[in-house]
């Protein structure tokens, strides 16, 4: 009986979800880190309280990804958190967002990922895109 109890406790501990493995995406990426993602560029609509509707471009990923927070510094009062659900859309921002983007085309986007933090950020994750290349 004691062995069964110990085995049950061990399984509960080992099987418990942790932030690093709770998400069930096909790959893992980390905020504030370089990444290259592939998918199809699409246009979405957002609403800004002060200025109304606006258009934005996002990458519809081929496969959903799990997004981990950047490693917190010891002095961080509000460290970032992992995004629990798999992410399927990443909003395009940064230098390459001003280029004529090939909406509707399959592309590879390289840049650094960051979490939404303004009213202009519609998706939970954005990429500070340095390069957008057709596939």
**Rounded distance between C-alpha atoms, residue 32 and residue 107, angstroms:** 21
Q: Extract the tokens encoding 30.
A: 């980390």
The model's pTM is 0.75
Nearest to 83, CA basis, from 116, 59, 108? 116
Specify the CATH class of 23-71+80-134 in words. mainly beta
pLDDT in tens, 28-68: 999 999 999 999 999 999 988 888 898 899 999 999 999 99
Q: How many CB atoms within 10 Å of residue 130? A: 13
Q: Look at residue 26 and tell me whether its pLDDT is greater than 90.
A: no
């Amino acid at each position: 009986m004691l062995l069964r109890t110990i085995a049950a406790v061990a399984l509960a501990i080992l099987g418990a979800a942790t932030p690093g493995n709770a998400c069930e995406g096909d790959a893992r990426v980390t905020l504030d880190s370089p990444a290259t993602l592939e998918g199809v560029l699409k246009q979405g609509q957002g609403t800004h309280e002060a200025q109304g509707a606006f258009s934005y471009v996002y990458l519809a990923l081929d496969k959903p990804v799990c997004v981990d927070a950047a490693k917190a510094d010891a002095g961080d009062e509000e460290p970032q958190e992992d995004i629990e659900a798999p992410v399927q859309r990443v909003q395009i921002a940064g230098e390459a967002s001003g280029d004529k983007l090939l909406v509707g085309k399959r592309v590879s986007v390289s840049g650094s990922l960051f979490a939404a933090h303004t009213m202009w950020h519609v998706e939970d994750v954005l990429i500070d895109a340095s390069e957008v290349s057709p596939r």
